[in-house]
Each structure stands twice: as structure tokens, then as C-alpha cells.
Chain A
């Protein structure tokens, strides 16, 4: 719902808010420029003195105005010809032209009405309303994505466009809310919808009838500092019934030209004050610095428009068309999808196609459309669902749990739940788990136990498909490729072998950099830009399903390096570990921004076991600036699978690696990496308290062991791994 409230106003009003943002940003410069260029008056200068000075310089003066920037303008008649100038208050002489700035006028008219009069004003007000709706719905989305308002500035993961969109938004949103609400207020004021017109005091009916009282003797003008002046209008020459009209920050009054007495005075009304404050907040006139800040924030609007469209297009592309979708009432298999960004729909489409090919009639729909009464012929219900943020329902599963909880009893149709998520997030598949738990509590019969897919892994999905096929009694091969990436052929340059003695044959494989196109170089896509911790997908011969490996090198190292352990029966690992220099593999690059060490100077605690050392070694190799890095490395036996042994010694000497602690799991006193952590508990706790970042890479069991060990180590300091994770200081790359 919130997402729809964000998407559609965004797309519909894209052009309007872009014009508003750009013109608003340009306009924000003017008050600051005026403030800098206007000659300011000396402290304590009174209106009486100023008016006297101007009267000497321009005897025909009619009016003196002071703008919120402090600029003073005088208007006069000289032998029937009107004149005007910006005045230096020190001398009363004109120093610059008072003609309106045509660029400013053009921009103002574009900004408020598109040069289209009242119709344009209403259109631009609609644009401002769209901006307000976008700001508020966007803020709600950011809070949901980061796991609550308290985590507003939590680090982000995901594709660049989406991250940029949120990064800009969470800074700019406050300015955009302010600018759009004040804009709506000003429009309402322009169309007389607010009682902020104010009322000048009644024009005095009785005047002295005299003229010529000296300006610098008028009490009210002597009491009013120039800083409070807005306007002083002079009486018509020769009209004894006319008066001086004075406007200040406090109100409006009339002064007798023969006696200097204040004949009438009216204060500003509360509404007028509010409207003037709002005008100042919107235009920056009288608050030039705020104006510049708001203008800078407004510049975020076109950037967010562009990235927002990219996010939307990417989401659309990811959601595939489902061919031959059966109506819910006629399908044997009901396939319901809970998807936020759209990638889970891709898996559903693959499953739908495979089941349909196996002769099943299948209905695919969103989980939010859950309607068990309509599934009259269904024999099974399969839920494929992602999780949003901290365990919330993704967009297409909104209301599912409420509906299930509200129903008296669960449908009598066997259920399988498959969760999609990323193990490096604390709430991994939390929504799928919640759904499965609720279903169990309601007594919903189970077709398959809950299973999960980590990072859209095609292997996990294929494995689950085989389990489903067994349950249905049909052979089911699910070959799902989430996005078809552009592949490259990589040539092996060298290999180093380890671990044969401990029955874990492993190779560090080094490939030459492939050729990249100019376009890739410009956009930094594909192999043109990568760093340790990113992933490469290897497409083994004879399979369309790729296998991901963590990179142990960055682009500037000049090679592509991975650490591969041979799994018995593993297609990709067998082919890779059999590779000889000169031979090639097919591969593509996938960025993994969630597992980068970042640019900061905070110390790093790197924890890895086995092949998990790969990206960690890459971080150390790239640490030319001598950032403090502590490496915990678990291996089977130092003589057999101590990967990067020689380099590590050199890296320590070069200052790239601060400390190394190893744990050996075979031998007289077996120790795992989590035991090594506990052995250094004091140092680890100190480092983390002082802002260190923890990065873990390796098998699932090891990662769980490390989390437990850290929980123990951090408990005295009142910290938990979960807290570190939400702060982005504890990241995992687990397989």
C-alpha cells in the first residue's frame, strides 16, 4: 500500500517535481546573492536618519523599501520621470539598479505556475502535494527497510540505484517536506483560502493640515531601527490631507506630515505572522542560509526521480510473465508469491513452468490474494515468500498472516513454504518462518517442511525442487537463473594446490583479467570494476545453473583469484579443480556490496575458515594504507591447508596485517576458529567497543559458532551480534 502510494505519484508527477526541484534549487541562490551584494546599514541606524539621507539625495522620493536581505530601495519622481535605485544606507545615494532581475522573474514564474497563470499554479501545487506524499510515503518505506525509525541512517545493501535513491532521500526528505508544505500553504494563501490578508488600520480622517515636519524629528521614525523597516511611503507633494505610511516588522501606521504624530497603528495579525514565516521558510528571503540548504536538498529531487525510475524498471523486468496461468478454482496446485522487489516471482515462474510441463494445472498469484474458499480443486498450496526488512511481509504478501490468523481453521490442503532471503541479514527468512509457524499452530497439514533459499541460490532451489518432486511423485528439475548475466571466458594463469593430505583437495586459482568494452569501463559494469568480496558465478559445462565463488582479488591486483575446494560429486568444483593453466571457464561477475570492508579507518576483525579465507586474504592484500586488520583463520592442518601462508608472512611485514590467530582443527588439541576468538576475548571485545568491524566468511556451521562465541565475548560490554548487524558492523558471507 505504502509502496503504491510512493510509486504512482512518483511516476505521474515525475516531470512536475523535477521542474519544481530544479527551479527551486536555482531560486535558492538569489536570496543569498542579494544578501551578499546589498549594502548593509550600520548598527543602530534609525529610519528617521535613513529617510533624511535619502530625501537629501532624491528630493522627489516617494517610497523607501527594505527587503528581508537588508537591501534598501528608494523610488522617486524627478521632474515627472520615475526613478529607482538600490541605496547605500550610509550615504543615501543610489549604488545599483533597482530593476527587477529578469532571470529571477522567469524562474519564479516557471516555479510557481509554468507560465500558465492560475491553471499552472494549481498544477504546481499538485506537484508540491505529490512531493509531500512522496516524502512521507518514502520516509515510511525507508523506516520499514532499515527496520524502524531509530535505524534511519543504517547502512544499506542492494543495487546501486536503490541505495542512491534512499541515501539521497534520507538526507533530503526533511527539506522536501518543509518546502512542499510551505508551498501548499502559499498556494492556499494566494487563492485567498486563508484568512491571512491582514487589515491595515483605517486611514485617518483628521489630519493637521500642515506640511513640512522634519523627517528626522518624527518620534516614531526615530524609534524604529532600519532593521525593522519594510516600507515608508511619502505623502503626495502638495496634498496636505495625505500622510506618511510606515510598515515595519510589527505592523502598519500613518504619520501626520505636519506634526510628525502617529495617527493610527495596527499590529500584524497572527495569521499574517504565520504566513510571513512560511514565506521566509519557503523562499529563503530573510533566511538565506536555510534557503541554500533547502535548494541543495531540492537538487536531490531529479536524482531521486531518475534512480526511482530505474528501481521501478528493474522491478518490472524482474517480474516475468507467467504463461498458461490457470484460474484459482481449477488449479491442482496453488502457488502464492510473497515478493518485494520481484525476484521471487521469477522463481515462481520457473516452478510454474516445470509443474505445468509435468502435467499439473497450476495457479500463480500474490499471497495477498489468499482465498482458500476458491481453491475448490486444489491438492496442494505452495508459498514462495521473501521477507521485508526486519521480518515484515513483503509487498505482495500484505495481509496474508492477518487473514490466516482471522480464519477459524487452516485449509485442509497440504502446504509447503519456501523462504527466500540473505543469511547475512539478522532476520533471515523471518517472514517465511512466521508463516510456517502460524500454519503449524493452525493445524495446516504439511506437504514439505519449511525450506529456505539463500541469496537466490539456484542450487538451493534445485534441491528443494527435487524434494517437492519426490513428495508429488514426479521428477522435477528446477533450473532457475535469476538474471541472465553477461558471461566472459576466463583463462587460468596459475594454480596452487593444498589440502590433499587432509582429504580436502583445494586450489587457489588465478585467472587473467578478461577484455572489457569501453562501455563497461565507463559504467564500471561487468569485470571492469570489482573488488575482493564480490562474487563470480561459474557456469560449469553441461549445466545452466551457475555456482558463486567469493573473489580473493580486486581489479587493481591485475588478476581474478578464487579459492575452490573440490566437493565430491560437485560439478563446478570438480571442473574448476581439474583446470590447468591455459584452460578456460565461463563466468560472470556479481557485485556483493554488503561484503566490502569499506573505506573507513576502523579496525577490521576478519574471521574465516577453509576456503572462506579467500575474500579476507583479498582485503588484507588490498590494505595498502595500513588499516588495523586482525585475521582469525581456521584450518585443518598447517602443513596442508594453510592457504596464503607465504603471502601472510609478507603482508604482516608490510603492515597490511596487524595480527594473525590460527586455529587448527586436526591434531592432538583440535581447535576451531570460534575457540581462537574466545582465546582472544579481551582483545576482541576491546576492538569492537572501539568501533571495529567484524567480517565473517565460511561455512554456515562456522558462522553460527562465531556468532555464539561473539555473543559470549560481547555480553559483558552490553553488546550483541544482532546489534552490530543492524549497525552494519557485523557482516557475513556464508555458504
Chain B
């Protein structure tokens, strides 16, 4: 179990100057027992027109493998500055990652989508493993990923 309080990097568009306009959000990601090494996971947000807005978290420390997180890599051009200061360890099969961060109120119920890309060494890359709309009603509802994520939920 991992509990992290992340401070978003100042460069991301998701940063909120005033604390009154933000709320703490906890992302809980549980992986299934896929029988491989630790998974790299990229958490990021796109807007209603599917344009990349910013990254929330990167699980996995070696930037040379980021190209396997296909959609994130395509959206950011593989720019590691997008995840500076919001990078942690990769997540083992069957383990749970819990991240708590301050997210702007404006991100909710405004057509934004939270995506998770996943990749495991010597196994199939899984871009867009999870894509959930950020809504106040959707909070706390777990969803299943395509390959590696057994359940993902955001709680406020």
C-alpha cells in the first residue's frame, strides 16, 4: 500500500493558485496478477476535445521506457518535464497505488477525462488502459482497466 501526497509541479496546467478552488482527490489503482514485472503507469487529463491538459502522476522512474506509454508519450512528445516532481516507483502485479493530490474544482463536470496508460516489460503495452470522465457523481465508482488494472477509482 502506498499513500502519497503529491504536489503538482508548477508548470502543469492543473495547478491551482488558491486552495479554496481546489480539493484533495485520492486516486486508487489496484493491479491484477498479470504475472510480470512492475508496471509503468501514466496518469493524465485531456479536455473535451481530447487535447492533452496535463499529467497527474508517473509511476516508473526510467524515462527511457516512457515511450511504451503510447498515448501519453504521443500527447506530450515524451517530454519528461511534464512529470518532473510527480514521479514515483513502478507498481508490482497485484499491488495497489494510492495517490492524493489537490485538483482544481474546474476540472470536474467540465468534459475532462482522466487517462491511465500502462506498460510492462516484455508484455503488451496498454495505452489508454483506463479512461474515465471526471465528474462529481463518478467519484468513488471503480472501473476496470483493459489489461493490467483490476480497479481504478478517484475519491473526493
Listed in ascending order, the chain A residues whose CB lies under 8 Å from chain B are 62-63, 75, 77, 82, 84, 99-100, 102, 105, 109, 117-118, 189-192, 197-200, 202-203, 233, 236
Contact = CB atoms under 8 A, between A and B. Distances in A.
A105 B37 contact: yes
B118 to A, nearest CB: 12
Contact of A82 (B37, B78, B147): B147
Given A100-B36, A197-B64, A233-B70, 5 more contacts: A82-B146, A99-B35, A192-B63, A200-B67, A200-B78
A109 B37 contact: yes
Of B62, B124, B147, chain A has the most CB atoms within 10 Å of the CB of B124
Interface string B24-46: 00000000000111000000000
A229 B47 CA distance: 35
B111 interface: no
Interface string B127-150: 010000000000000000011000
A198 B124 CA distance: 20
Nearest to B63: A192
B124 A84 contact: yes
B77 A202 contact: yes
B interface, by DSSP: helix, strand, loop or mixed? loop
A236 B129 CA distance: 12
A63 B124 contact: yes
A105 B64 contact: no
Contact of B122 (A100, A117, A118, A189): A100
Is chain A's binding surface mostly helix, strand, loop or mixed? Answer: mixed
A451 B36 CA distance: 70
B32 to A, nearest CB: 11
A109 B123 CA distance: 15
Nearest to B36: A100
Contacts of B122: 100, 105
Nearest to A77: B146
A45 B60 CA distance: 38
B23 interface: no
Contacts of A82: 124, 146-147
Q: What 6 pairs between A and B have smallest CB-CB spacing?
A: A75-B124, A203-B74, A82-B147, A197-B64, A100-B36, A100-B122
Given A82-B146, A203-B74, A236-B128, A192 B123 contact: no
Interface residues of B, number: 21
A665 to B, nearest CB: 80
A198 B64 CA distance: 9
Contacts of B128: 236
A726 to B, nearest CB: 51
Contacts of A236: 128
A192 B146 contact: no
Nearest to B120: A100
Given A100-B35, A102-B35, A109-B37, A197 B63 contact: yes
B61 to A, nearest CB: 7
A100 B122 CA distance: 7
Nearest to A75: B124
A105 B36 contact: yes
A190 B147 contact: no
Contacts of A77: 146
A197 B64 CA distance: 6
Interface in B77-94: 77-78, 89
A246 B135 CA distance: 36
25 contacts: A62-B124, A63-B124, A63-B125, A77-B146, A82-B124, A82-B146, A84-B124, A99-B35, A100-B36, A100-B123, A105-B36, A105-B37, A105-B122, A109-B37, A117-B89, A189-B64, A190-B62, A190-B64, A191-B62, A192-B62, A192-B63, A200-B73, A202-B77, A203-B74, A236-B128
Contacts of A203: 74
Contacts of B124: 62-63, 75, 82, 84
Which residue, A75, A109, A198, has most C-beta atoms of chain B within 10 A? A75
B71 to A, nearest CB: 10
A197 B66 CA distance: 10
Contacts of A75: 124
A615 B36 CA distance: 65
Nearest to A62: B124
A77 B122 CA distance: 18
A403 B35 CA distance: 65
A75 B147 CA distance: 11
A469 to B, nearest CB: 73
Contacts of B64: 189-190, 192, 197
A62 B128 CA distance: 13
Nearest to B124: A75
Interface string B46-75: 000000000000000111100100100110
A236 B70 CA distance: 12
Nearest to B144: A80
Nearest to A73: B124
Contacts of B74: 203
Contacts of B147: 82
Contacts of B62: 190-192
A197 B62 CA distance: 11
A203 B123 CA distance: 23
Contacts of B37: 105, 109
A172 B130 CA distance: 50
Contacts of B77: 202
A105 B35 CA distance: 9
Nearest to A200: B67
Contacts of B146: 77, 82
Contacts of B73: 200
Contacts of A99: 35
A190 B77 CA distance: 20
Nearest to A241: B50
A77 B77 CA distance: 27
Nearest to A80: B146
A701 to B, nearest CB: 73
A343 B124 CA distance: 62
Contacts of A62: 124
A118 B35 contact: no
Nearest to A104: B122
A99 B64 CA distance: 24
A112 to B, nearest CB: 11
A190 B74 CA distance: 21
Nearest to B90: A117
A102 B36 CA distance: 8
A189 B63 CA distance: 11
Contacts of B36: 100, 105
A230 to B, nearest CB: 13
A62 B125 CA distance: 10
Nearest to A63: B124
Contacts of B61: 118
A723 B28 CA distance: 77
B54 to A, nearest CB: 18
Contacts of B67: 197-198, 200
Nearest to B50: A241
Nearest to A118: B61
Contacts of A191: 62
